[in-house]
Amino acid sequence: MRNIAAVTFDLWDTLIQEKPGGSSRVADIRVDRIGTILSSKGLTHAEDEILAAHEKTGQFLQLVWSKRRDMSVRDQVLFLLSSVDGKLAGKLSEHDLDEIEKAYTEGLLENPPMLLPGAKDALADVKAKGYKLGLISNTGRTPGSTLRVLMDRMGILRHFDATTFSNEILIRKPAEGAFRITLERLRTVPKAAVHIGDDPESDVMGAKKAGMKAIQIVHAHDRRADTADRHTESLAGVCDLIEKL
């Protein structure tokens, strides 16, 4: 009888990776579209104003994230709009806010990250072995709803039995809650689960504190986490590592 019943994966730099300059390109798309929407409502603001508000929102998010907390997309959008003009949100209808939220969240789909080599095969292999699969991902400005669309387009969403994104549960790895919520959804106890990810703190430390095993994906120049149960430079052969736990 094997010891592991469920396997959870990190997303960024474990299964997918941003293209060079990707975040700047997505930010440009986001700012341009928000400006266009505001102008169409007769609320014209200079691109520099919106860009400055976008950057201010990012700084505030970094502060929130440092406390292992997160913000909903709507709250991020409202913060950005208030940073442009304190009264701006009050001049917009619910439909207008929905439009702006869509512009804020979906830029990534026009400049998508790349699927890392071996990711699709590794997920298929782990699933074929009969493990329950979960995803635990911290988000930036792109929420879980958009990332699920991206994962579906990449052909990997179908492998997962549960997907947990920080903007939806309002807590971030390495907080134990992010892992425990996912394991509850998978109906698995921590000692029968392993988490696979690249980050020494968010993935390895978080999983271990939650009572799980941890396999670290170590890229060039990454710091190896001494507390990881296994290390690997790629997802190839990850099934063998899981079987040995």
pLDDT tens digits, residue range 122-139? 999 999 999 999 999 999
Peptide bond into 174 cis (omega under 30): yes
Whether the pLDDT of residue 8 is over 80: the answer is: yes
Cα 192 to Cα 48, 67, 80, distances in angstroms: 51, 28, 42
Stretch (H or E) spanning 151: helix 144-154
Mean pLDDT of 17-40: 95
Average pLDDT over every residue of 111-118: 95
Percent of the chain with pLDDT over 90: 94
Which pLDDT tens digit goes with each residue over 61-96? 999 999 999 999 999 999 999 999 999 999 999 999
Long-range contacts of 182-185 (CB under 8 A, 24+ apart): 182/8, 182/134, 182/135, 182/136, 183/6, 183/8, 183/134, 183/210, 183/212, 185/134, 185/161
Instruction: Specify the pLDDT at position 42.
Output: 96
> Is pLDDT above 70 for 214?
yes
Q: Which two tokens stand for residue 162?
A: 């549960």
Residue 237 above 90 pLDDT?
Answer: no
**Phi, psi values for residue 216, rounded to 5°:** -95, 130
Structure token pair of residue 95:
């439909």
pLDDT at 1: 62
What burial class does residue 2 get, using C-beta atoms within 10 Å of its C-beta: 0-12 exposed, 13-18 middle, 19+ buried?
A: exposed
For position 233, what pLDDT does the model report?
A: 92
What's the CA gap between 194 and 245, in Å, rounded? 9
Helix, strand, coil % (nearest 5) of the chain?
50, 15, 35
- Give start and end residues of each alpha helix (H) in 6-118: 22-40, 47-66, 73-84, 94-105
Q: What is the pLDDT of residue 149?
A: 98
Token code pair at residue 219: 């890229």
Q: Strand, helix or coil at 196?
A: strand
CATH code of the domain occupying 6-18+114-243: 3.40.50.1000
Mean pLDDT of the chain: 96
Between the two ends of the chain, the Cα-to-Cα distance in Å is 12
For tokens 């120049």, what's the residue?
Answer: 221
pLDDT of residue 72: 97
Give the pLDDT confidence score for residue 110 in this predicted structure: 94
